[in-house]
Chains A and B, each alone.
Chain A
Amino acid sequence: MKRQKPTFLFASLGLTALLVLALVAAGCTGTGQKTTPPAATQAPQAVATAAVVPQSTAPQAQGASAPAAIAAPVSGEKQSIRVSGSTTVLPIAQKAAEAYMAAHPNADIQVTGGGSGVGIQQIGEKTVDVGMSSRELSSTEKTKYPGLVKSVVAKDGIAVIVNRANEISVISADNIKNIYTGRITKWSQVFGANVPNTNQQIVVIGRDSASGTREFFDKAPEGILKGAVPVKSMLEKNSNGAVTQTVAQTPGAIGYVSIGFITADVKALPIWYNNPNDAIAPTAVNVKSKKYPINRELFMFTNGAPAGLAKDYIDFIRSPEGQKIVSDEGYVSIID
């Protein structure tokens, strides 16, 4: 028995080692070969995207040198960029990435959410190649990251959504504000609203404090709250999808999402300001014509003018083909 033990030890060690090696080899394909330099490291072409004027030339140099620590010579095989930020822009970025990659077998576009704040921070710190944002840069962000260049990729409206069980058909901007500031707590206090089989309690759902959508809704002149403080009992969700999902699950809920996140599971309410008969629905047409007032633009930021794969990718989104994806996803095309 004692003799067997060392054998067992070696056997198990050997097996573990084998397993590990196999995993590393099979799983993390080509651990050794370094590929995928971020786009910023490729020959920086000073070609600005249509809507963009580079603010200075210095950041381009920075952009070119920054992630070089991990970059190896371009093999001409794979190219990869990372895109992160606003969950509002995420579906556009993801769908466009899928379409772009289908046409370009060597391109790898990694898309992740996080929020506008994180997108701007990461592109500012150059930990990603493209930052998505559903809001403009704040003044502190402008001073901190002067090299950021924005490209408009879509137009968007923020829609107020309720559960399908709610009988309400239109809502006034005042009522939304009163609901979100806690002055109205029952659907019975809202004209036309009724949620059968409940006590009419309103479940207020909003976004987390780093969200661009929330900032627009809370603070922008076109927004609803115009600086008023939302009620403390508001349930906070960290993405558009989470808001839609919760509203769809909760009969008494009200929430706000980008119009790209309106699904058949929820009801998007037309909003009126002075006259109930002038209620405007949050549709792509109304957002495009700016008839629907809560509208904004969606951005992608690069550090310095876009270059390499990042440029091709952003150009693709802004092209008619890319803008068709934008429309298909429920957002509004920037092409007239």
Chain B
Amino acid sequence: MNRILEKKQLSETVFQMQIDAPLIARERRAGQFIILQLCEDYGERIPLTIADADADAGTITIIFQAVGDTTKKLAQLNAGDDIAALVGPLGTPTHIENFGRVVCVGGGIGVAPLHPIVQALKAAGNHVTIIMGARNKELMILEEEMRAMADELIVCTDDGSYGRKCLVTEPLKELCEQDPRPNLVVAVGPPIMMKFCVETTRPYEVPTQVSLNTIMVDGTGMCGGCRVTVGGETKFVCVDGPEFDGHLVDFDNMINRLGSYKKQEEAHKCRCMPDNP
């Protein structure tokens, strides 16, 4: 079960895995995610977006950045290894229709969750402009795949090592100033990037959808740990989201909540995996 069929390293810290998961591959739609665990007794549950899937082959693809305990352990697994627990597809699928002109903004690892959304938007007939941003050239992922789908692709890096030297908000602002304005902006990336994308589009009143990556436990609406404030109301990201109207999201509160366990995460030394006594 949940066997890793293929593993690729996309950058120093970003990995792609194709996993045998026929039931999830069949049901999943753009915007949905899985939760996985590396050990059922002591492992934590972490959510990762389904970056791609092949229903016929019964496989899903995840792309993740090794940032901490669980993702680093996951990165040590190889083709042929099994993932102890995998559940999904979770979350409400992206609302897809022909909006007209859509700008998709992906920052860093956020390009991975953006991938299936662009796929679905293109399939529905949208004109899609993609803005991809990363700190530097080495951290840029999925460029080829995105270029193949995009009607227009803008690449930028913080340090100018590749594409334009700017933040993603700069080309986003230019696009909002053009006539016709985009009908929709979809922004996926670090919370701070999404926050600034939303502030960029707000004066132009361009609807802006964001995909939130709050801390989760069950992923089925049972614990409320993933809650965020949207338009003054409490929403559960795992069931009401992960996508929301970015103009209504309280990003400052969300960013605070993401830092809830910083202290413990840094101290964590897991004895869950056999090769880590």
Q: Is chain B a partner of chain A in the same complex?
A: no
Q: Which residues of B contact A (CB under 8 A)?
A: none
